[in-house]
Chains A and B, each alone.
Chain A
Amino acid sequence: MSEVLLAAEGMTRRFGGLLANRDVNIQLERGVLHALLGPNGAGKSTCINMLSGDLPPSEGTIRYKGEDITALTSYQRSKIGIGRSYQRTNIFPKFTVLENCRLAAQSRKPRPWSLLTNALRMPEAVERARAAIAEAGLSGREDRVAGTMSHGEQRQLEIAMVLATDAEVLLLDEPLAGMGSEESAQMVTLLNRLKATRAILLVEHDMDAVFAVADRITVMVNGQVLESGSPEQIRNSPDVQAAYLGHEAEHE
């Protein structure tokens, strides 16, 4: 059995009278790419926000490597190794690609009191940033101002920043959103490479990409987990077909 890194049990979130997530159980294991599927409003974003600490759950427990981390905030979770990327590109648009990643890497050894250090020359942070940039396929773009790059490249940078924090759990919110087919293919290759050493949660709309990379798929509908299993299981599930895959199943 592979090592479970992040596990949510009975995770529930209410917004007033609305049950955005109800009794969600999800496990992320090292070496496994776990995709979270569902139509708009199914509660995918609420789920990833609770896992990353952006949103506190109303009920339920979240464990990281066996320890209860339900009460930790997003920055505390980042520190222990849970990184996330955002659906709407969430970078530092005026900084260079290198500085975006360097700042991300600096968070591992922040050294806020060393006033005599030139941050731009912190060897460890710069090295880690460059490695993350290379891993995300942005080599040669280090000195570009992030906001001037193409949408696809900004999505890659979004991932590179998470990698620069040395996260072991990657929570990726629609990394393929708005990408062209070539960029998408690159990203899929990247995701396949990344999952070898990490646990990945992939929230995604792009069905082809999901079935190409996912080892495990959880389908959510109306804030609840409808079904969770291997891609094959999901593809053949009558419930899932009825609720979500309807059209695609007909085409095939």
Chain B
Amino acid sequence: MNSRTSTIFKLAVMAGVLAFPAFGSDFYAEMVAKVLILAIFAMSLDLLVGFTGLVSFGHAAYFGIAAYAVALMTPKYDPANLWLALPASILAAAAAAFVIGLFVLRTKGIYFIMVTLAFAQMAYYVFHDTPLGGGSDGIYLNFKPDATIAGWVPFDLNEPHHLYYFVVAAMLAVYGLLKLVLRSPFGRVLVGIRSNEHRMLSLGYATFRYKLAAFTLAGGLAGFAGFLYAVLFGFVTPEYLSWHKSGDVLLMVILGGMGNLAGAIAGAAALVGLQEIFTGMTKHWQLLMGLTIVAAVLFMPGGMAATPARIMARINGGKTNE
């Protein structure tokens, strides 16, 4: 797919997303919002896995920490202030990522995967069945954060449509931010680290600091996703930090195509869509899911992002043969 058709395709999808609440039912609008939030989550992980070469298997920790942050900041009978709760939740996740990053980034390869998982499990048990985490059931968010600024109400997150467009705007903002980051000198260094960290060191880059900055940013953005997820569904559970969740988001990135932001979004949509279809078909939906993922990895190397180019190559290849 050349860049022009790709842009047109992205704009068409965007138009569909924007128009969706006018046509689709609230149930499906909530599902699209869920996809968009998980797309933020997947893009934040792709910054590490796809662009920096850091396969984190504990990314749900930051998602869950921010979700719990907003739940714990919300009083029982009142809404929290959005403009305080949102940055505070993101900062909590980013701070956790910074501290954990100081340790895990000293390891490489399989050890990095192991220690990111280990730290995420530790975070999980901070909230699992503890008074802080509201027991094993988690915490209900009885009120969605309030967006009032000095008496003026720009939007109300209790309105499903307002919440939907808030999520859309958040997804676009994160996409735009990551595009900027990847285009910037900082982003080019990350891609250089993925390609050849040793050479980056000998060229004069303090790669550890760059990786720590990327890890912190990715944690903060995962936190943004976790915040939105908690607000959308109105409750948080320890499962948000579980290693299943870390695995799911890794699958989204791999299905979509590592190192491609649009691919991460597509991967999130695919995973949520497949889950929806398969759970409707059978109780043993995870079996189907597993088979689909195996098939996708076997037959779609490079993920969904690489598929249009492969199809085009197949078509063009066919033409020259004739």
Contact B184 A75 (CB under 8 A): no
Contact A104 B203 (CB under 8 A): yes
CB-CB < 8 A to B279: which residues of A? none
Q: Is the interface of B mostly helix, strand, loop or mixed?
A: helix
Is B244 part of the contact surface with A, judged by Cβ < 8 Å?
no
Residue in B183, B198, B202, B213 whose beta carbon sits within 8 Å of that of A78 in the complex:
B202
Is B192 part of the contact surface with A, judged by Cβ < 8 Å?
yes
CB-CB < 8 A to B181: which residues of A? 115
CB-CB < 8 A to A52: which residues of B? 202
Contact A75 B183 (CB under 8 A): no
| Nearest residue, chain A, Cβ from B182 | A119
Residue in A95, A120, A161 whose beta carbon sits within 8 Å of that of B203 in the complex:
A161
Contact B195 A94 (CB under 8 A): yes
Is B107 part of the contact surface with A, judged by Cβ < 8 Å?
no
- Bound complex: CA A110 to CA B183 (Å): 13
- Bound complex: CA A110 to CA B204 (Å): 10
Interface flags for B168-196 (1: CB within 8 Å of A; 0: not) read 00000000000011011111110010011
Residue in A104, A112, A116 whose beta carbon sits within 8 Å of that of B210 in the complex:
A112
- Bound complex: CA A92 to CA B189 (Å): 12
Residues of B in contact (CB 8 Å), total 24
Contact B195 A75 (CB under 8 A): no
CB-CB < 8 A to A90: which residues of B? 196, 198-199, 202
- Bound complex: CA A84 to CA B204 (Å): 11
- Bound complex: CA A161 to CA B181 (Å): 24
Contact A107 B180 (CB under 8 A): no
CB-CB < 8 A to B202: which residues of A? 52, 54, 74-75, 78, 83-84, 86, 90
Is B9 part of the contact surface with A, judged by Cβ < 8 Å?
no
Contact B199 A118 (CB under 8 A): no
Is B201 part of the contact surface with A, judged by Cβ < 8 Å?
yes
* A77, chain B: closest CB distance, angstroms: 8
Residue in A74, A91, A112 whose beta carbon sits within 8 Å of that of B185 in the complex:
A112
Is B18 part of the contact surface with A, judged by Cβ < 8 Å?
no
| Nearest residue, chain B, Cβ from A113 | B186
Contact A110 B199 (CB under 8 A): no
Given A94-B195, A103-B188, A103-B192; A110-B205 close (CB under 8 Å): yes
Given A74-B201, A79-B204, A165-B204; A118-B195 close (CB under 8 Å): no
CB-CB < 8 A to A73: which residues of B? 201
Is B206 part of the contact surface with A, judged by Cβ < 8 Å?
yes
Is A150 part of the contact surface with B, judged by Cβ < 8 Å?
no
Is B207 part of the contact surface with A, judged by Cβ < 8 Å?
yes
Is A122 part of the contact surface with B, judged by Cβ < 8 Å?
yes
- Bound complex: CA A52 to CA B199 (Å): 12
Given A90-B198, A92-B195, A103-B192; A111-B203 close (CB under 8 Å): no
Is A235 part of the contact surface with B, judged by Cβ < 8 Å?
no
Q: Would you list 12 pairs from A and B whose C-beta atoms are within 8 A, ordered by A residue?
A: A52-B202, A75-B206, A78-B204, A79-B204, A90-B196, A106-B189, A112-B189, A112-B213, A115-B181, A116-B180, A118-B184, A122-B185
Which B residues have a C-beta under 8 Å from some C-beta of A?
180-181, 183-189, 192, 195-196, 198-207, 210, 213
7 smallest beta-carbon distances between A and B, as pairs: A78-B204, A107-B204, A119-B188, A112-B186, A119-B185, A92-B195, A79-B204
Which A residues have a C-beta under 8 Å from some C-beta of B?
52, 54, 73-75, 78-79, 83-84, 86, 90-95, 99, 103-104, 106-108, 110-120, 122, 161, 165
